[in-house]
Amino acid sequence: MTHQSAAFPAHRLCDKSHFRVVYVTFFFVRQVWRCLAGYKVITRRTVSSAAVGMRQGNRMIIKRYLLGLLLLGGSALSMADTAKWVLVTDRDGIQVYRQDDDTSRLKTFRGVGLVPVADFNAIGALMDDYQAVASFMHMVSEIRDLHRASPYQRDVYVTTRLPWPVKDRDAPLRVTFYQEPDSYDLVMPFSLNPKAFPEQSDYVRMPQMEGYYRFEPLSPGEVKVTIEVILDPGGAIPAWLANIILRDVPYFSLRRLRRVVNLPRFQGISHGYYQTPKSWQEPEEKQEVANASAANRAPSAPR
């Protein structure tokens, strides 16, 4: 299967900008259709000076709607294509980018950094340990397992700790997992799943939270990690403050991940639901992996 870049993960192929294009196009086509229907009724009537005037008026309306469709539809497409990633933080070998899209109140932030990883299987062992994930994810206080259909799909409940006097937030999430068959990238998209857990009085429910982790193996012992996230904290937090808080999430999460992933308790553990890159394997391991992968292979990117 064709490898998808981190810029266009599977869960974001249909983003908000493209949705707006579809919506604008549908709205104007509907209005043009209504005008055409009115024009058809008029032509069936007895032609009179009044009817002719109305018919000409409808023609002008149709022309204006078509012009509006071209201008606004083209503008929406332009905004979708020109939403750029701007570097906002570059320190400690970690780069954080902000996606500038004026059509959205909140910004999307993406952190990218190189992480030394002694054992590729340690990534899976770490991400299965929700207490450990909460320890490296910035401002996350707890991650609770709600339901695990398989290693490739799970529902979790996340709570955050925010500075006083802001009330803490929570979010039930659907987390999926797949491995790119050619590059061996491990990808974990997550998105809000409100029905998975009821709202709690001690927390403000976040109305939006989505993103992904991507672990891209490079040379043995080195992994390029991407964390992308957009969230709406809800409540009375203004957008400018939410964006400041959100900007710190990828940076501090990647810094802590470097320390956590190589802890002894995550080494030498294989859950068998994804493959180790061939270049990372010892010669005797390659035959074992080849035999095991035929019976137990991680799913590829969703189509």
Percent of the chain clearing pLDDT 70 (strictly above): 66
Residue 3 — very low, low, confident or very high, per pLDDT cuts 50/70/90?
very low
Using the structure block, give the residue that is written with the tokens 């190189």: 114
Select the more confidently predicted residue: 225 or 47. 225
The reported pLDDT for the residue numbered 120 is 96
More confident residue, 120 or 31: 120
Separation between Cα atoms, residue 141 and residue 170, nearest integer Å: 10
Computed over every residue of the chain, the mean pLDDT equals: 78
Three-state secondary structure string covering 150-198: ECCEEEEEEEECCCCCCCCEEEEEEEECEECCCCCCEEEEEEECHHHCC
Q: Is the pLDDT of residue 62 over 60?
A: no
Reported as half-sphere exposure (CB side, CA atoms, 13 A), residue 239 has a value of: 7
Q: What is the pLDDT of residue 163?
A: 81
CA distance 158 to 179: 24
Instruction: Give me the CATH topology for the region 84-295.
Output: Alpha-D-Glucose-1,6-Bisphosphate; Chain A, domain 4 (3.30.530)
The fraction of the chain above a pLDDT of 90, given in percent, is 51
Indicate whether 49 pLDDT > 60.
Answer: no
**pLDDT over 90 at 277, yes or no:** yes
pLDDT of residue 164: 80
- pLDDT tens for 180-227 read 999 999 999 999 999 999 999 999 999 999 999 999 999 999 999 999
Give the residue-averaged pLDDT of 64-93.
Answer: 64
**Confidence at residue 60, expressed as pLDDT on a 0 to 100 scale:** 62
Give the model's pLDDT for residue 11: 44
Residue 188's pLDDT is 98
Torsion of Cα atoms, 130 then 132 then 137 then 141, to 10° = 70
Average pLDDT over residues 92-119: 91
Question: What pLDDT, on a 0 to 100 scale, did the predictor assign at position 281?
Answer: 83
Q: What is the mean pLDDT of residues 252-266?
A: 96
Q: Give the per-residue pLDDT at 94.
A: 98
- Between 26-35, 91-100, 238-247, 264-273, the lowest mean confidence (pLDDT) is in 26-35
Q: Which residue did the predictor score with more confidence, 35 or 224?
A: 224
pLDDT digits (tens, 9 = 90+) for 119-177: 999 999 999 999 999 999 999 999 999 999 998 999 999 999 988 888 999 999 999 99
The pLDDT-based confidence of 293 (bands split at 50, 70, 90) is low
The answer on pLDDT for 81 being more than 90 is no
Residue 190 contacts by C-beta under 8 Å, 6 or more apart in sequence? Answer: 173, 174, 175, 176, 209, 210, 211, 212
Tell me which of 215 and 60 has the higher pLDDT: 215
Whole-number pLDDT of residue 95 = 98
- DSSP codes joined into one string, the chain: -PPPPTTS-GGGSS-HHHHHHHHHHHHHHHHHHHHHHHHHHHHHSPP-HHHHHHHHHHHHHHHHHHHHHHHHHHHHHHHHHH-EEEEEEEETTEEEEEEE-TT-SS-EEEEEEEEE-S-THHHHHHHT-HHHHHHHSTTEEEEEEEEEEETTEEEEEEEE---TTSPPEEEEEEEE-EE-TTT--EEEEEEE-GGGS---TTSEEPSEEEEEEEEEE-STTEEEEEEEEEEE--TT--HHHHHHHHHHHHHHHHHHHHHHTTSGGGTT---SSSPPPGGGS-HHHHHHHHHHHHHS-------
pLDDT score, position 249: 94
